[in-house]
Amino acid sequence: MAEPEVNLDLAIEHGLLEDEYNRILKILGRTPTYTELGIFSVMWSEHCSYKNSIKQIKTLPRSGGKLLVSAGEENAGLVDIGDNLAVAFKIESHNHPSAVEPYQGAATGVGGILRDIFTMGARPIASLNSLRFGLINSFDGKNEKNNLIEHTKYLFKNVVKGIGDYGNCFGVPTISGEVYFEECYQDNPLVNAMAVGIVKHNETASATAKGKGNPVFLIGSSTGKDGIHGATFASEEISEKSESKRPSVQVGDPFTEKLLLEATLEAIRSGVIVGIQDMGAAGITCSSSEMSAKGECGMYINLDLVPLRDENMIPYEIMLSESQERMLAVVEKGKEEIAKQIFEKWDLNCVEIGKVLDEKNIKIYHKGKLVADIPAFELVLGGGAPVYTRESKEPAYIKSKRNFDLNSVREPTDYTDVLKKLLSSPNIANKNWVYEQYDTQVRTNTYIMPGGDASVLRIKKTNKALSMKTDCNSKYVFLNPYKGGMIAVCESARNVVCTGALPLAITNCLNFGNPYNPENYFQFSESIRGIGDACRKLKTPVTGGNVSFYNQSQEYAVFPTPVIGMLGLIEDYKKTVTSNFKNENDLIFILGDNKGEIGGSEYLNTIHNLIKGDAPDINLDSEKNLYGAVLELIDRGFINSAHDVSDGGVGVALAECCIINKNFPIGCEINFDYGKLRKDFSLFGESQSRIIISANKKFEKDILAICSKYNTSVHNVGIVGDNNLKINSEINIGVEELIDFYFNSIKNIME
């Protein structure tokens, strides 16, 4: 392939702005080569440079607490959990690849995030995800567009298969996640993958290049033409032309990744590695420039030494390839043979392609010719990459949605029927159809399986366990970005608290529309403000994450979806609590107050086909008090179950408490004080900061005392027992029937 002439038009074709191209000319003092243009265009793409988001991101609390590494310093955050152990965790999006090639898009999303974890020396112990699709059913005639439904089912099915096949083969349990279905995700599904790993304090690795003359090795798969400009593709809107971007999607090989994991950990432990970084977006370009910039050095790379799948690749393609399962490592000079032996043992390429230089530029050679010569610092985030603040404007829809008179909604006559519909709506129904396709148990640490609030993994040879969850209610963020951001943090924290875990830190994946649209930018900056306020109050710093803009079709953006991945620590795994009711005659209490808020609720969405009103209120002080109360109740062994009230309100939460352990369902009888609220608002409203607990009657006084100590209101609402869920005179249904609606709904839609 002949290289085209570099000029402004070509730069614009590469997604660069005119100003940006002029800056490149100034930095280099000359016209860039074609290879250099490619390098700048990917490094300054939204995906790699965070140019439109970094100013906002920097307002988040990104250090302190138990953080060993501040956000952005390494490939993933690192949190101290005691016992000389640290947890590395991070979430990342793979939305656009999954929109055009769902199986490989999702699989390589998982692969990429796993590499981020083990490149730090941590062994991955869990994989999680957060998924959003268009509608998969025509519930109540809500969506008659059958071909759209079929396409969405195809995406859903293959994304799940891609996530499963990659994680299952790699040998990491996929233990938790969330899946939502809304029309706004029809053209642009969201596929966010999270990974969690464990490392001893003294066995971590850094993504830094240093030491003049140290050799640079390329490890793992050969480099091919796949995934060229993947990062650029991620930085533009989905359109009809996107189908043609299918070659931008990488192809995953979980088997090679598994070998790469074992070999990388072995090499890091052997002490020969100076620095190592995985190759994700922008391949050799990104890893070489980021490692060099971080180590304040330069790097010489000879592309003739890179193992290729296709001998005819030009330097531009080699530098931009996003072929998967590769790492770039700086090895201590003189220890090359030890490194090579380790990688050869695992049948992996381990080829010296360059050296660390005692200067500031990365110098790329091909067939004896210098094809790129760029100061590394100028390429990277925090260095010369552009930083913008975009215009922000409150979207017009917000006021009109908020002014909607919620009391105009028709009051239902058959509450049992409403509950059945809610439990079988794909947003609420159990996701067993999904998680049974994932290996949830490999490595034999899974202490609480998926399906409940958060999943829990014990840590072998300690008393500790980790609780983790991904969460975001994007309807709330859509209606009120600030409150929605706060609630996303609180809900994920509440989930881990319900298992008995202290929330430690978060990672976030910020999925938004085109940032050049002021309304989208308002959603973005406001929800970040909400996340920041919640994280400061709850003392859960942000360890890192990912921003994904341009999630939209030509007509509309997705709901703003800042997904939170929460990590919680349980000091004694024996004190872990699950969400299901367990014993006949246990008393049932609801902690927190019911305000009958149905704005943005699943009830309004599923039963009335409306996404209107305001997001529920959230008081961070009440929220924090609630955690104090529940954690002490669990620590002192007073309660037998804890489950948070979320989508579908108290009605759905109580039903889940009865049936979430479908092998041991049990009923309950509830006498609920509606107060002055409408019955439907009371039963299905989604007021925040509420947790349902059950306990032996003998602990009633202790429970009341602890709740009072934490200034948390507590309501005795009923008793566990029998085979029916009975709520006042409104609802009476057998638990077996509930199980059928809740556990079989998605399977019935998909098969």
Partner 1 sequence: MSKAKVGIVVFPGSNCDHDAYYVFKDILKVDTKFLWHKEGNINDRNIIILPGGFSYGDYLRCGAVSAHSNLMNDVIRFANKGGIVIGICNGFQVLCETKLLPGILLRNNNLKFVCKTVSLKVENNKSIFTGYYDIKEDIDIPIAHGEGNYFCDDVTLTELIGNNQVLLRYNDNPNGSIYDIAGIQNLKRNVLGMMPHPERVSDSILGNTDGLRLLQCVAESVM
94 belongs to the catalytic site:
yes
What's the first-to-final CA gap in the chain, in angstroms? 47
Nearest one of 435, 539, 527, 518 to 474, comparing CA atoms: 527
User: Residue 17 or 169: which CB sits closer to partner 1?
Assistant: 169
Rounded Cα distance between 17 and 36, Å, is 16
Which helix H or strand E contains 57, and what residues bound it? Answer: helix 54-57
| Residue 326 β-bridge partners | 220
CB of 461 to partner 1, least distance (A): 8
484 binds partner 1 (CB under 8 A): no
255 binds partner 1 (CB under 8 A): yes
Residue with tokens 């501040």: 70
User: Residue 346 or 581: which CB sits closer to partner 1?
Assistant: 346
447 binds partner 1 (CB under 8 A): yes
CB of 432 to partner 1, least distance (A): 8
DSSP string, 101-123: SHHHHHHHHHHHHHHHHHTTTPE
Residue of 253, 519, 597, 614 that binds partner 1 (CB under 8 A): 253
Which of the ranges 166-174, 321-329, 641-649, 695-703 carries the binding residues for partner 1, by CB under 8 A?
A: 166-174
User: Residue 117 or 604: which CB sits closer to partner 1?
Assistant: 117
CB of 467 to partner 1, least distance (A): 15
User: Residue 435 or 741: which CB sits closer to partner 1?
Assistant: 435
Nearest one of 405, 536, 481, 491 to 60, comparing CA atoms: 536
170 binds partner 1 (CB under 8 A): yes
Within 10 angstroms of residue 176's Cβ, the number of other Cβ atoms is: 34
366 belongs to the catalytic site:
no
Residue of 408, 413, 444, 729 that binds partner 1 (CB under 8 A): 444
748 binds partner 1 (CB under 8 A): no
164 binds partner 1 (CB under 8 A): yes
User: Residue 266 or 373: which CB sits closer to partner 1?
Assistant: 266
CB of 256 to partner 1, least distance (A): 8
316 binds partner 1 (CB under 8 A): no
Rounded Cα distance between 407 and 677, Å, is 11
Q: Are 176 and 120 in contact (CB under 8 A)?
A: no
Residue of 34, 181, 300, 346 that binds partner 1 (CB under 8 A): 346
The C-alpha torsion from 256 through 283 and 252 to 563, rounded to 10°, is 120
User: Out of 47, 96, 366, 608, which one is annotated catalytic?
Assistant: 47
Residue of 246, 345, 697, 709 that binds partner 1 (CB under 8 A): 345
446 binds partner 1 (CB under 8 A): yes
Within 10 angstroms of residue 411's Cβ, the number of other Cβ atoms is: 10
User: Out of 14, 94, 229, 643, which one is annotated catalytic?
Assistant: 94
Which of the ranges 76-84, 189-197, 441-449, 665-673 carries the binding residues for partner 1, by CB under 8 A?
A: 441-449
Rounded Cα distance between 711 and 496, Å, is 21
Contact string (CB under 8 A) for partner 1, positions 556-585, x = contact: -----------------x------------
CB of 294 to partner 1, least distance (A): 32
At residue 462, the 3 state secondary structure works out as coil
Residue of 178, 187, 236, 439 that binds partner 1 (CB under 8 A): 439
153 binds partner 1 (CB under 8 A): no
- Residue spans of alpha helices (H) in 579-663: 602-608, 620-635, 649-659
Residue of 443, 529, 539, 662 that binds partner 1 (CB under 8 A): 443
User: Residue 255 or 516: which CB sits closer to partner 1?
Assistant: 255
Rounded Cα distance between 142 and 138, Å, is 5
Cβ-based neighbours of 278, under 8 Å, separated by 6 or more: 75, 112, 115, 116, 118, 119, 287, 326, 327
Residue of 47, 132, 294, 458 that binds partner 1 (CB under 8 A): 458
CB of 38 to partner 1, least distance (A): 32
Cβ-based neighbours of 498, under 8 Å, separated by 6 or more: 453, 454, 577, 579, 630, 642, 643, 644, 691
Could you tell me the sign of the dihedral formed by the alpha carbons of 131, 137, 141, 145, in that order? Answer: positive
Within 10 angstroms of residue 512's Cβ, the number of other Cβ atoms is: 29
User: Residue 193 or 489: which CB sits closer to partner 1?
Assistant: 193
Rounded Cα distance between 371 and 363, Å, is 8
Residue of 10, 28, 169, 338 that binds partner 1 (CB under 8 A): 169
Task: Point out the residues that are catalytic.
Answer: 47, 94
Chain contacts with partner 1 (rule: CB under 8 A): 161, 164-165, 168-171, 253-256, 258-259, 345-347, 435-444, 446-447, 458, 460, 573, 751
